Amino acid sequence: MRRVSRLPLSAKVNDYLRRKQNRANMKKAVGTLTPTKEWDSARQTKKMESVLLTLQRMMGTHERCMYCHDSHGADIEHFWPKSPYPEKMFSWPNLLLCCTECGRFKGERFPLKNDHPLLIDPTVDEPWDDLDFDPITGNITPKFDLVSDSWSEKGVATVEVLQLDRREALSAGYLKTFRRLSSLLTRCLNVDTGVDTADLPATLREADDHGLLGWCLHGDGCNVPPFSDFRAHYPGEWTACVATLRSA
C-alpha cells in the first residue's frame, strides 16, 4: 500500500458530481432516496466513466487497487460507504479505486472513533504510519508504537476489515516485490566502483509493484537488510534516494 496523490477532475465532471450529490441530498430529505439505485443509475454515464479513468490514472500503468495494491482496481469504491453515508456518495474525495476482493471484504464495514474513520484512506494518510510488513511471511500487520506501547488503531482496523494478514496470494505478491527491491540494493552493495543514485530511485519505483518503498525507506524496513546495510555504507546516496522518492 502507498500514499496516493489525488488528481483533479475536469470542471464538467466536478459539476456533474455536485449536481448528483445535490439531487441525492434532496431525495434523502424527503425520504425517497435509494442509495444503490441512485448510484447504479449514475454509474452508467460517461461522466462517471471519466471518474473511473482518473482513479486508474492515479494508480499508474497497472491500475492497482488502492487498498491492497495487489489486484487490478476494478471499480469505484466509496471510502465512506454510500448507503450509511449518502451525503458523501458523489463526493470526489470519497471515491477510491478498489479491487473486487477488497470491496467484498469492506462492504459497508466502516469503524469510527469519535466520528473519525479508523480505516486508512490512501489518498489522505501515509499507510506505513499505521501498517507494518513482515518480510518473512509477507503479511501486512498493524504497526506497534513503542512510544504509546500499543498497536495503531488505524492499522488494526484496516488489517482486520480488509483481511490483509489472511490473504495468501496477497502475501506472496508483497514478498515477491520485497525480494525484487532487496535484490536491487544488494547488487548496488556489491558494486566496487560506488553507487550511481541518478537512476536508482526510478529503478526502485519501477520495481515496487505493491507500494513497499514507503516501508523500506522511511518505515521499519530501513532497519532491515539490505536497506539498513545500504544506509550504513552509503549514507549520502541513501539520503538522496529517499529525498527523491519522497518528492515524487
Q: Do the domain assignments include residue 161? A: no
Q: Do the domain assignments include residue 151? A: no
Domain range for 192 is: 168-248
Out of 88, 106, 124, a domain closes at 106
Q: Do the domain assignments include residue 195? A: yes
What is the overall mean pLDDT for the chain? 93
pLDDT, tens digit (0-9, with 9 covering 90-100), for 71-99: 999 899 999 999 999 999 999 999 999 99
Same domain, 183 and 99: no
- Number of independent structural domains in the chain: 2
Out of 83, 106, 129, a domain closes at 106
Q: Is residue 133 within 8 Å of 176, Cβ to Cβ?
A: no
Burial annotation 196-211 (CB, 10 A radius, 16+ → b, else e): ebeebbeebeeebbbb
Q: Do the domain assignments include residue 163? A: no
pLDDT, tens digit (0-9, with 9 covering 90-100), for 145-196: 888 899 999 999 999 999 999 999 999 999 999 999 999 889 888 876 555 6
Provide the whole-model pTM. 0.92
Out of 53, 72, 106, a domain closes at 106
Q: Is residue 67 within 8 Å of 1, Cβ to Cβ?
A: yes
Q: What is the pLDDT of residue 19?
A: 98
Grid cell at residue 121? 484512506
